[in-house]
């Protein structure tokens, strides 16, 4: 094989399955394989890329790199794109689709980048051959992709043409199906290829439109992943090797025929059950299109009656139960998981299970310990794949026990004594500040000792009834321990810490709330945990706020933002104040108390906006000059700019990550902060101030912003004494227009 035959490729893959794709491309003959999170780069001849398109179970798309270049501005990009010999790749009589991704200093909008790419290709073809291709978004003859990282641009052909999860067998999708390559990745991760070769049975008791069952059957039969898929992006590419392609297709066709006949002869059946007869109709149609109708069995069946096939000694039960998001409420999802756990324990001893769940807490309801837990992504949703060997040793009630059980005798152990001494020291060090500034809510411990990984906050609270007594409450958040620390050690340390807290602080167990910060979905601090609706009132800087210790991971008041709120209060006098991603509106209350001319609070959650209104009412501040807007912040900013709205003081504290079903797309603060801050600055009045804060631990401000605006990093001035041990708790910046004189704002004057 000559060096001329070797080319550079990149294949994308759902996050969490990169290692599986790397293993596949190696088996196909790829070289120089480099895994990159949700993609795998590799080199090889075209045969390798064809095999990935045809045979990979997990790949999403496959790109053939054409060229890389450096371009400092828009004009340089256009020139470099036009210089590519597009006639070698594109027949002007075919159709074309283009796509731009990434971020270039001169191109901030992907739609604009896509148009520039399309224009350059069409201009080049018109100049060279006098014709230009038509544009088609559905099954184009050739799809060209450009990706920018800074000033470097990589231009590629999308050989897949459309997502490789589109196997071609799916008709109606039924309710909330998994993508086919995601389902296949779960099956591979669960060891299904080996299990099926050993004669294991397969069942999905909540199969929906049959994705797991069909992919399992096709995999066991030795089908190519995209067996008989009719469309690929290279079929009308001028560099396509049709002879090579037909040879590969013929080989996989022969393998599929032999494998399917082998399963038919052995009477092997793959089982799917669901209580919804409508989706089972779709499942049967899908199985027919996929060529596995003869070896699949779909029938109506409720989860409670699921059982193993009578002749099966071993097997795999693989399913995707409801998560309490799209398909139902959280409590019903918990009930389903509890029922699934019961069925597994009673009916499937000796089998293996692969359970996909979008909320780690739901997995605890199964009552079975997973021997392996994998983090995977279904689109933008972070999930857990639980792999369970169903046996008596795996049975365990993992659900949190109601109420805290604190053993006072543990307070005398060496570990508890050491922990208690640290709490005493912290309380003593903070006492002068607490008394001087009359601080009622503050952090007393934040993983100071690695063995005791907790964040502990003290709240002096009273219920909303005016005559109720003051109560001291502790909110204890336990950071999830690494997997290599034995569970018994984790439990012992937790018990010692709780016993020491009662001993040192005098707070009784009923007023200590324990939560665990597990590594689950980003942005999950905003997800409701309970339905008690039990609120308390706390005071901060002479203002009152409603907090909730039970229903959410966070209480409704971010304690580390205390100095930032005070700065906003001093700056707000006579200003039009805007609070973006307003959460429970604590910053709005501070601005209103600082005599803001008006306040506008924007958030996507109606619950939090109502919480904001109640906080304003609690302080006697609610009125016509305060607006609460239920909207996606990014969409609202665009509309506000089109209406030429202006604000003098803007506070923007976005989530680190959000994939809410109510918003368009996915928000990532590191990736999207330039676009977000540009949109904020577009509605900032002349002489105004934008305060931007983020809790992203590894956040780095894009240097392009510092060239556009005057930005000051004020993080050091916004970290309160109780968070001095964790200087990375947040980052905070002040932003002003670069061409405007610095305004004299109230926050620059000392507070009386």
Q: 210 — alpha (psi -120 to 50), left (phi > 0) or beta?
A: left
Which contiguous run of DSSP H or E holds residue 54?
helix 46-55
Which pLDDT band holds residue 659 (cuts at 50, 70, 90)?
Answer: low
Which pLDDT band holds residue 54 (cuts at 50, 70, 90)?
Answer: very high
CATH code of 489's domain: 3.30.750.80
The verdict on residue 423 lying in a domain is yes
Residue 342 pLDDT: 94
Q: Which of 201-205, 461-465, 662-666 has the highest mean pLDDT?
A: 201-205
pLDDT at position 517 over 70: no
Name which of 20-24, 109-113, 263-267, 480-484 the model is least confident about.
Answer: 480-484
The verdict on residue 172 lying in a domain is no
Which pLDDT band holds residue 744 (cuts at 50, 70, 90)?
Answer: very low
Which pLDDT band holds residue 62 (cuts at 50, 70, 90)?
Answer: very high
Q: How far is it, in rounded angstroms, from Cα 476 to Cα 553?
A: 11
Mind giving me the DSSP string for 304-327? GG----TT-SSEEEEE----SSSS
Q: SS3 for 643?
A: coil
Whether residues 368 and 288 share a domain: the answer is yes
Name which of 470-474, 607-611, 710-714 the model is least confident about.
Answer: 470-474
Q: Alpha-carbon torsion 721, 725, 730, 732, what sign?
A: positive
Question: pLDDT tens, 403-423?
Answer: 566 777 788 899 999 999 999
Residue 49 main-chain phi, psi, to 5 deg: -65, -40
Q: What's the chain's Rg over C-alpha atoms?
A: 30
Residue 118 pLDDT: 95
Task: Using alpha carbons, list the distances in angstroms from residue 324 to 174, 209, 257.
Answer: 17, 19, 41
3-state SS string for 262-301:
HHHHCCCCEEEEECCHHHHHHHHHHHHHHCCHHHEEEEEC
Whether residues 348 and 430 share a domain: the answer is no
Question: pLDDT tens, 134-193?
Answer: 999 899 999 999 999 999 999 999 999 999 999 999 875 444 468 999 999 999 999 999
pLDDT at position 398 over 70: no
Residues 636-641 have a mean pLDDT of 94
Whether residues 189 and 324 share a domain: the answer is yes
Q: SS3 for 445?
A: strand
352-357 and 315-319 strand pairing: parallel
The verdict on residue 531 lying in a domain is no
Whether residues 507 and 566 share a domain: the answer is no
Which contiguous run of DSSP H or E holds residue 423?
helix 414-437
The verdict on residue 167 lying in a domain is no
The verdict on residue 535 lying in a domain is no
Whether residues 498 and 614 share a domain: the answer is no
Whether residues 358 and 427 share a domain: the answer is no
Q: SS3 for 225?
A: coil
CATH code of 45's domain: 3.30.2130.30
Residues 525-535 have a mean pLDDT of 52
Whether residues 613 and 733 share a domain: the answer is yes
Which contiguous run of DSSP H or E holds residue 346?
helix 330-347
Domain that holds residue 486: 408-526
Q: What is the mean pLDDT of the chain?
A: 89
Total structural domains within the chain: 4
The verdict on residue 242 lying in a domain is no
The verdict on residue 234 lying in a domain is no
3-state SS string for 521-554:
CCCHHHCECCCCCCEEEEEECCEEEEEECCCECC
Residue 577 pLDDT: 98
Question: pLDDT tens, 300-352?
Answer: 999 999 999 877 889 999 999 987 654 446 678 888 999 999 999 999 999 99
Residue 399 pLDDT: 57
The verdict on residue 552 lying in a domain is no
Residue 525 pLDDT: 42
Whether residues 91 and 20 share a domain: the answer is yes
Which pLDDT band holds residue 1 (cuts at 50, 70, 90)?
Answer: very low
Mind giving me the DSSP string for 59-106? --EEEEEEEEEE-SSHHHHHHHHHHS-GGGT--TTSEEEEEEEEEBTT
Q: How far is it, in rounded angstroms, from Cα 214 to Cα 414?
A: 57
Whether residues 41 and 96 share a domain: the answer is yes
Q: How far is it, in rounded angstroms, from Cα 230 to Cα 218?
A: 17
> What's the token pair of residue 719?
């970290």
Q: Which of 160, 161, 163, 159 is nearest to 239 (CA)?
A: 159
Answer whether 592's CB lies under 8 Å from 599's CB.
yes
Whether residues 646 and 720 share a domain: the answer is yes
CATH code of 581's domain: 3.40.50.150
Whether residues 128 and 189 share a domain: the answer is no
Contacts of 261 (CB under 8 A, 6+ apart): none
Whether residues 450 and 519 share a domain: the answer is yes
């Amino acid at each position: 094989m000559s060096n001329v035959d070797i080319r550079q490729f990149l294949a994308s893959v759902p996050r969490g399955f990169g290692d599986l794709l790397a293993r596949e491309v190696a088996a196909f003959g790829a070289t120089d394989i480099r895994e990159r999170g949700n993609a795998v780069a590799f080199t090889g001849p075209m045969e390798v890329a064809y095999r990935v398109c045809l045979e990979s179970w997990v790949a999403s798309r496959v790109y053939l790199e054409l060229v890389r270049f450096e371009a400092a501005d828009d004009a340089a990009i256009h020139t470099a794109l036009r210089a590519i010999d597009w006639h070698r790749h594109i027949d002007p009589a075919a159709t074309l689709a283009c796509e731009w991704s990434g971020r270039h200093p001169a191109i901030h909008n992907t739609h604009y980048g896509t148009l520039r790419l399309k224009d350059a290709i069409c201009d080049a073809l018109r100049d060279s051959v006098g014709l230009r291709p038509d544009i088609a978004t559905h099954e184009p003859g050739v799809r060209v992709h450009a990706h920018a990282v800074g000033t470097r641009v990589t231009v590629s052909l999308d050989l897949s043409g459309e997502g490789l999860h589109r196997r071609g067998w799916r008709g109606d999708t039924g309710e909330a199906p998994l993508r086919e390559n995601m389902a296949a990745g779960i099956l591979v991760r669960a060891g299904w290829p080996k299990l099926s070769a050993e004669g294991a049975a397969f069942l999905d008791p909540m199969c929906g439109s049959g994705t797991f069952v069909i992919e399992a059957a096709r995999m066991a039969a030795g089908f190519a992943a995209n067996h008989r898929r009719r469309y690929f992006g290279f079929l009308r590419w001028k560099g396509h090797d049709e002879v090579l392609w037909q040879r590969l297709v013929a080989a996989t066709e022969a393998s599929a025929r032999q494998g399917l006949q082998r399963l038919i002869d052995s009477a092997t059946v793959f089982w799917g059950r669901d209580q919804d007869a409508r989706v089972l109709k779709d499942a049967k149609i899908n199985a027919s299109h996929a060529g596995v109708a003869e070896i699949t069995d779909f029938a109506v069946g409720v989860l409670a009656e699921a059982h193993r096939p009578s002749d099966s000694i071993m097997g795999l039960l693989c399913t995707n139960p409801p998560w309490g998001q799209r398909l139902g409420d959280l409590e019903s999802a918990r009930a389903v998981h509890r029922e699934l756990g019961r069925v597994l324990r009673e009916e499937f001893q000796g089998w293996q299970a692969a359970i996909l769940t979008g909320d780690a807490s739901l997995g605890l309801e199964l009552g079975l310990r997973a021997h392996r837990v994998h983090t995977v992504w279904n689109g933008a949703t972070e999930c857990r794949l639980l792999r369970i060997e169903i046996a008596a040793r795996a049975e365990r009630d993992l659900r949190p026990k109601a109420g805290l059980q604190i053993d006072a005798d543990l307070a005398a152990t060496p570990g508890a004594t050491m922990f208690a001494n640290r709490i005493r020291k912290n309380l003593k060090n903070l006492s002068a500040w607490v008394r001087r500034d009359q601080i009622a809510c503050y952090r007393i411990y934040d993983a100071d000792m690695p063995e005791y990984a907790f964040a502990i906050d003290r709240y002096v609270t009273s219920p909303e009834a005016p005559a109720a007594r003051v109560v001291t409450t502790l909110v204890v958040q336990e950071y999830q321990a690494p997997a290599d620390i034995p569970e018994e050690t984790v439990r012992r340390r937790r018990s010692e810490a709780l016993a020491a807290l009662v001993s040192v602080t005098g707070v009784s167990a009923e007023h200590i709330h324990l939560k665990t910060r597990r590594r689950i979905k980003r942005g999950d601090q905003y997800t409701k945990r309970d339905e008690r609706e039990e609120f308390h009132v706390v005071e901060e800087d002479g203002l009152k706020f409603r907090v909730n210790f039970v229903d959410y991971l966070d209480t409704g008041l971010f304690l580390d933002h205390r100095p930032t709120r005070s700065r906003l209060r001093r700056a707000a006098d006579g200003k039009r104040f805007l609070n973006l991603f307003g959460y429970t509106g604590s910053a709005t209350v501070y601005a209103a108390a600082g005599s803001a001319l008006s306040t506008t609070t924007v958030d996507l959650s109606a619950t939090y906006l109502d919480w904001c209104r109640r906080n304003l009412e609690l302080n006697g501040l609610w009125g016509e000059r305060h607006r609460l807007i239920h909207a996606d912040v990014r969409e609202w900013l665009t509309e506000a700019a089109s209406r030429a709205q202006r604000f003098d003081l803007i506070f923007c504290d976005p989530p680190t990550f959000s994939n809410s079903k109510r918003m368009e797309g996915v928000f990532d603060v590191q990736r999207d902060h330039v676009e977000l801050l540009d949109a904020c600055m577009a509605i900032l009045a002349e002489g105004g101030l934008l305060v931007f804060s983020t809790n992203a631990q590894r956040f780095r401000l894009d240097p392009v912003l510092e060239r556009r605006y005057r930005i000051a990093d004020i993080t050091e001035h916004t970290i309160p004494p109780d968070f001095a041990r964790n200087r990375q708790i947040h980052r905070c910046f002040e932003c002003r227009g670069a061409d405007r004189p610095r305004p004299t704002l109230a926050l620059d004057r000392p507070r009386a």
